[in-house]
């Protein structure tokens, strides 16, 4: 009886050991499977949603004049996005790493943002009704971007540059905020793309206190950033008078028109209204070519340029050929009335009312 009882006891023990072994194996397999399904490690910082907007009342605008012309503003496709950490720590007031996240899996770390993000231009304009300066205007509203902040970054500021062509700027991780804001580019090298370059002006504070790209911490925060032109549009309308006392149209037919003294190098990308002086290598821009025979006496042309101040004035020189001789007209715009954030839209009215020169009849500006 005793030997039989021991045998049964040993059998029970072996059965229990097998069951425990099976349970351990199942447990290990379950643990491995659960681990494989876990998301990638989450960054130590917060997740922020960023919505980028570009003001554009009309994509295609018919300008005044005879026969008139068309100017096209293209929606940017490249975005350079920087985050300056403002909370205390080794990276205070420095550009730090951003992580672009998948909206469907915001818990994941995402990929590090090291260069320009390529975004698809929106197909339709929308009306913006937020708190920005262009409230109520038509805007391009890009896809909402989710960014994760690196470990240790809990508050900071976003700075954004939008363009279609490479601007040649190089802002590295660890760059100080002051150096970031002093970033410059060469306007002459990309002058054809100047109408399509936008940025977040460093001193724009809709509430009068905080820069509009500021992230102050918290969860599920969405920041709207309207981006603005860094170049001014200069609209020039000219007219050769033909009144009863002076029929200049019989002798003066404008053949060519150009402007010189445009700023080329060392142009600020985040401080478009802080440019001083034209620099050592200004460039010219042609406004009216000789073959435009339909605009001999009146018409309109426009171009984009980086505004600058020289003793509180933004000046440039127009060169006009009437088929017989050249004439130069110096234009001076008083910049003391300009907005300190937004580059102006400059309008110039020129009337040929004397036998030798244009007379500047109006030179005004509005916010662009």
Q: Where are the alpha helices (DSSP H) in 90-220?
A: 177-181
Residues 224 and 243 in one domain: no
Q: Decide the pairing of beta strands 117-118 and 256-262.
A: unpaired
Q: Number of folded domains in the chain?
A: 3
Q: Whole-angstrom Cα distance, residue 335 to residue 309?
A: 7
CATH number of 79's domain? 2.60.40
Instruction: Give 33's pLDDT tier (boundaries 50, 70, 90).
Output: very low
Please state, in angstroms and rounded to a whole number, the distance separating the CA atoms of residues 82 and 117: 11
Residues 360, 348, single domain; the answer is: yes
Claim to verify: residue 79 and residue 183 sit in the same structural domain = yes
Res 136: pLDDT = 79
Check whether 269 has a pLDDT greater than 70.
yes
* % of the chain with per-residue pLDDT over 90: 35
Query: Does residue 360 have a pLDDT over 80?
Result: no
**pLDDT score recorded for residue 368:** 43
Domain co-membership, 116 together with 131 = yes
Which residue, of 200, 229, 258, is where some domain finishes? Answer: 229
In terms of domains, do 239 and 222 share one? no
Residues 213 and 245 in one domain: no
Claim to verify: residue 188 and residue 124 sit in the same structural domain: yes
Candidates 140, 144, 114, 118; CA nearest to 127 is 140
Question: In degrees rounded to 5, what are phi and psi of residue 22?
Answer: -60, -45
3-state SS assignment for residue 121: coil
Instruction: Tell me the pLDDT band of 218, cut-offs 50, 70 and 90.
Output: confident
Neighbouring C-alpha atoms within 13 Å toward the C-beta of 311? 2
Q: 229, 262, 281 — which closes off a domain?
A: 229
Residue-wise pLDDT for 125-145, tens only, equals 888 888 888 777 788 899 999
Name the band, by pLDDT with cuts 50, 70 and 90, for residue 91: very high
| Segment holding 33, helix H or strand E | helix 2-37
Residues 273, 217 share a domain: no
Q: What is the pLDDT of residues 299-318, one digit of tens each?
A: 788 889 999 988 888 888 88
Output the domain CATH number for residue 351.
2.60.40.2630
Specify the pLDDT at position 285.
86
Same domain, 152 and 300: no
**CB-neighbour burial class of residue 41 (10 A; exposed 0-12, middle 13-18, buried 19+):** exposed
pLDDT band at 173 (very low <50, low <70, confident <90, very high): very high
Q: How far is CA 165 from CA 153, 186, 187, 194, in A?
A: 31, 12, 12, 10
Q: What is the pLDDT of residue 81?
A: 97
Region 158-185 average pLDDT: 93
CB 254 within 8 A of CB 237: no
d(C-alpha 228, C-alpha 15), whole Å: 76
Domain interval for residue 6:
1-38
Q: Are residues 91 and 197 in the same domain?
A: yes
pTM reported for the whole predicted model:
0.80
> What is the pLDDT confidence band of residue 289, given thresholds at 50, 70 and 90?
low
Task: Clarify whether residues 87 and 25 are in a common domain.
Answer: no
Which of the two residues, 35 and 278, has the higher pLDDT score?
278
Q: What does residue 47 show for φ and ψ, rounded to 5 degrees?
A: -110, 130
Examine the domain organization and report whether 206 and 278 are in the same domain.
no
Mean pLDDT of 213-223: 91
Q: Between these two residues, 328 and 10, which has the higher pLDDT value?
A: 328
Domain limit, last residue, from 178, 213, 229: 229
């Amino acid at each position: 009886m005793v030997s039989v009882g021991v045998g049964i006891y040993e059998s029970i023990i072996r059965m229990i050991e097998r069951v425990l072994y099976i349970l351990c194996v199942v447990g290990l397999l379950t643990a491995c499977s659960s681990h494989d399904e876990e998301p990638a490690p989450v960054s130590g910082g917060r997740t922020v949603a960023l919505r980028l907007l570009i003001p554009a009342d009309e994509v295609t605008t018919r300008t005044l004049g005879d026969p008139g012309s068309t100017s096209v503003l293209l929606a940017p496709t490249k975005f350079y996005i920087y985050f300056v950490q403002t909370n205390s720590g080794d990276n205070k007031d420095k550009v730090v790493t951003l992580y672009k996240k998948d909206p469907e899996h915001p818990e994941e770390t995402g990929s590090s943002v090291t260069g320009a993000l390529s975004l698809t231009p929106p197909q339709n304009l929308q009306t913006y009704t937020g708190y920005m300066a262009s409230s109520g205007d038509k805007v391009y509203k890009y896809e909402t971007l989710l960014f994760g902040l690196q470990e240790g970054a809990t508050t900071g500021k976003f700075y954004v540059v939008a363009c279609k062509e490479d601007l040649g700027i190089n802002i590295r991780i660890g760059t100080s905020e002051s150096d970031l804001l002093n970033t410059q580019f060469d306007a002459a090298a990309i002058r054809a793309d100047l109408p399509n370059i936008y940025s977040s002006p460093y001193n724009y504070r809709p509430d009068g206190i905080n820069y509009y790209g500021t992230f102050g911490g918290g969860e599920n925060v969405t920041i709207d950033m309207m981006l603005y032109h860094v170049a001014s549009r200069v609209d020039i309308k000219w007219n050769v008078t033909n009144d009863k006392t002076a029929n200049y149209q019989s002798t003066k037919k404008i053949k060519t028109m150009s402007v010189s003294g445009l700023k080329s190098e060392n142009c600020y990308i985040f401080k478009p209204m802080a440019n001083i002086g034209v620099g050592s290598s200004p460039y010219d821009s042609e406004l009216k070519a000789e073959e435009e025979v339909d605009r001999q006496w009146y018409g309109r042309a426009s171009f984009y340029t980086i505004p600058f101040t020289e003793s509180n004035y933004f000046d440039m020189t127009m060169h006009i050929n009437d088929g017989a001789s050249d004439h130069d007209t110096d234009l001076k715009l008083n910049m003391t009335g300009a907005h300190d954030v937004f580059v102006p839209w400059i309008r110039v009215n020129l009337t040929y009312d004397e036998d030798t020169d244009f007379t500047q009849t109006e030179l005004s500006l509005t916010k662009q």
